[in-house]
Structure 1
Amino acid sequence: MRINHNIAALNTYRQLTIGQSAVSKNMEKLSSGLRINRAGDDAAGLAISEKMRGQIRGLEMASKNAQDGISLIQTAEGALNETHAILQRMRELAVQAANDTNTATDRAELQKEVDQLSQELSRIGATTEFNTQKLLDGSFKGIFHIGANEGQNLSLQINDMRGFNLGVAGKVQVEVAGTIADNTTTTDADFADGTYTVDENFNLVDSTGKIVASSADGKTFTLAGTDDTLAFSDVVTKVTISGGNATGITEATNNGLQAGSYTYDDTAKALKDVNGKIVATTTDGKTFTSAEDGTTTVFSVSTALTDGASVEVGGIDISSQAAANAAITTINNAIEKVSAERAKLGAYQNRLEHTINNLGTSAENLTAAESRIRDVDYALAA
């Protein structure tokens, strides 16, 4: 007879403890909805599930990235849509001006609208942006990350759609002219309307004595505190600055060879934008041809001009029947450029839309697979 241990009771207690533990785990699974609440529930399953979760979240974020990319493209394409509308109106005016039923006065009135449209076209190209990034000035070279893993990217470069690159930059009028000589200082940061030729090293100083712009070589200077380069080139002998105040000079000359006044110098040279890109070259100091195709004349000057004389570069000219005919061709070329860019952007947008659909399908199926590993089967747990 044994009186120290009750084996039957111990067995019953052990089975009760096991049952209570199982019930507790099942209740935890039922309440959380997860089969794996801790690594001990399924170590390998947990590792696989976490890897899948990383992929799922990456796919979902990649889909958002693609949607943001579409938004950027739609912003640029919307601006180009307006550019197209402007060019079509300019072409319409050029066709009208090409008809000799119009007098010189009539064409002058038509020219006024063309000039305003040209300026607006250049403004759209220079100011269109998405999340503070310029889109149409030729500087945008973006990478869209459209996958869950490293290197799954899509690159997009938007070409320069400003008036200069399209060949339809607006005309700038100049009223007076003057020269800033060596070591000249100003007592005011504001410039009067007009044209100024920079010959030598100089500083521009406001009324408090603060330097607002300076030049190290007489050809290029930078606005203090903004790093906005004003000059066209570091190889042009002289540079002309259009009127405005010191903080707005860059806008007056723009980043390309816009319409405006330029100083004539009878030597071979190149004109560059502020990024150092050559936009026009000359071998005789008189006729500047486009650096893009080497044949299109950007502007030319008369041999009667003397060294240092100023010349004015116009935009679309419809002041005569011949000029209007030439303008039609120029505008047609601009329309083709914009059409090509819009078509490219549309193709990218369609691609991104398919990318989003594919990412959604991948995320959905991967979520289902992860659920089979991680989530609880209520029928079994109950």
Structure 2
Amino acid sequence: MPPRTSRVSFAPLRPGLPAALMLATLLAAPAVAQTASAPDAEGRLWATIVALRDPGPATQPFANWFDQALSRAAARRAALRSYLTIYPGGRHRDEAIALELDTLFELATLQSRAPDELRQRIAELRQNPPSRAALHEAAYWELTCRRYAGPPTTAPATQPTPADIRAPDADLLAGIREYLRLYPDSRYSPRLTHVLFDEAQLRGDTDALRALAAYAREHFPQHMIADELAARLRREDAVGRPFTLRFTDVDGRDIDTSAGRGRPVLVVVWAGFDDGARRCVQAVERFRRDNPQFRVLGVNLDESRAALAAAARDLDIDWPQYHDGLGWGHAFVRTWGVLRIPAVFVVDAEGRLAGVTGGDRWVDLAREVLHRPHPAAEERAPAAATQPAGPG
């Protein structure tokens, strides 16, 4: 009896397919060849795509990482086109479209060119969206392309080169607002709400801040950005109001800023692992020695007390330190929406929060607070309220 042979037939490729797409289609063909509707064929192709999402270890030389990232992005684009051609209504269609748009933008930035191919694909999806999720994606990437000011200056692939992204102008901000109105359930809505919040905070538009925090609370209450915006709004509202910080420091001392009213206070959020924060700590310490009427407290984000102690020794400071070992999860950071360090909370002699600044900007505010007139101790009214150091 002659040995059995298996017959494998491939569907003919459409003329005009790019070579990379033809290759990706052939790679998927063995799974398709078993039967026209093999149940695991789509899954195998999708697994190939998922594997191509890994850009490789970032610890290698940048030139090597760059070449690998570019190669894998090109292969991922070809595989995604293959998937969307073979399985236009596949199980992973919407995820594939989202990844395709992301990949096209990645390729444009890696190759230092304008995202024309991405814009063309966006136009196709906007004209004939296969789903609401795909429409979300196309609308978001259209906004992103509007922020993309053009190809950055060509640089050798031996150093990172940031994409040239312009600040949002009035038209782009209007586009973001419209996106949020149309697609409150989009996965990009938290990110875009954050953009509008940052812009409103720069303008000092408290009403807009309240509206955006309320939008976040309504549409994505479990998202970390909703918590962040609520905390930042709390900080805006706290300026000019009584501010009280209570904690037990690393030496077991109970600290209560309300007990020392009559002296201005600097609360410095810092960490020994951050060079900018270390420089700020040194500047604050010099300021404190020149202005002994100031009390200084630290909120430290180092992971261990040993790391805090080592940094304090190096910087020659002995301020009371509020440390809970949670790093960026610190109760104070979460309560007050601290996004970067250093951050300095300036509290006047009456216990009111004068403002929150970073870098060197705290110096002018501290000097202004130092020269504020304030009533004698017996004439001061008690604080109307206090602001908690952390939740609970």
TM-score, length-scaled by structure 2? 0.26
Whose RCO is larger (CA < 8 A, sep 6+)?
1
More helix by share: 2
The higher radius of gyration belongs to 1
Greater fraction strand: 1
